[in-house]
Amino acid sequence: MLDELLSIRFISVTITFFLLMDGPGNIPIFLSLLRQVPPKRQAYIIARELVIALLIMFFFAFCGNYVLDHLGIENQTIQMAGGIILFMIAIKMVFGTLEEPEIKHHKEPLIVPLAVPLVAGPSILATIMVYSKDIEIQNIVPFSIVAAWILTTLILLLATPIQRILGERGIIALEKLMGLVLTLIAVQLFLDGLYTFLNS
């Protein structure tokens, strides 16, 4: 029973991280920022930036708790705040597409904006700290990060054929669907924090 519950939580947390990394939604932005880079070099840059994003997410997973404990922030507060943040991100995904950032660069991008904030953005870093604070699931957080990261990496490495198949409208529709799922997760996270607060 415990193993089954952990499996369900693992899937739930992984889906949340995957939605926040927003691989499909980042496809047009990645391709736009790398349009002047040769295809083979594009794959290298994407892989490099995603590895950097992974390292940043791991840092927040293992060190974020110390910051929160030092600030004296309670677990239910983190859950409710995390739910609100996720809800705001989800609403943006459902009702408005992410616009391409106006960044001028003459060299290939490094860390900004591909690794941060497009993949390892404020929303997922905050969520990682929320889940890392939860005693019930904190042990599965690193594995969920890796699982979601692998899916995101595959999607972004295949960005060109995916965009060709789905088209711009298809990618927008997929992002809106992901936003809807994230809305449900956000509300549940907020309600869990509220329930804990009312019973504490």
What percent of the chain has a predicted confidence (pLDDT) above 70?
A: 94
Q: Residue 177: what pLDDT?
A: 86
Between the alpha carbon of residue 84 and those of residues 4, 101, 123, the distances in Å are 28, 24, 10
With a cut of 70, say whether residue 115 has pLDDT above it: yes
Contacts of 31 (CB under 8 A, 6+ apart): 159, 160, 163
With a cut of 80, say whether residue 5 has pLDDT above it: no
Contacts of 105 (CB under 8 A, 6+ apart): 33
Over residues 82-102, the pLDDT tens digits come to 788 778 878 887 886 545 444
Taken in order 99, 105, 110, 116, the sign of the CA dihedral is negative
Which residues lie across from 172 on neighbouring strands?
A: none
Q: Residue 19: what pLDDT?
A: 93
Average pLDDT, the chain: 85
Rounded distance between C-alpha atoms, residue 81 and residue 190, angstroms: 7
Residue whose token pair is 């529709």 = 173
pTM value is 0.81
What are the residue ranges spanned by the domains of the chain?
Answer: 2-198
Over residues 28-43, the pLDDT tens digits come to 889 888 888 888 899 9
Query: Which parts of 34-158 fold into alpha helices (H)?
Result: 39-71, 75-95, 122-133, 141-157
Rounded distance between C-alpha atoms, residue 14 and residue 87, angstroms: 17
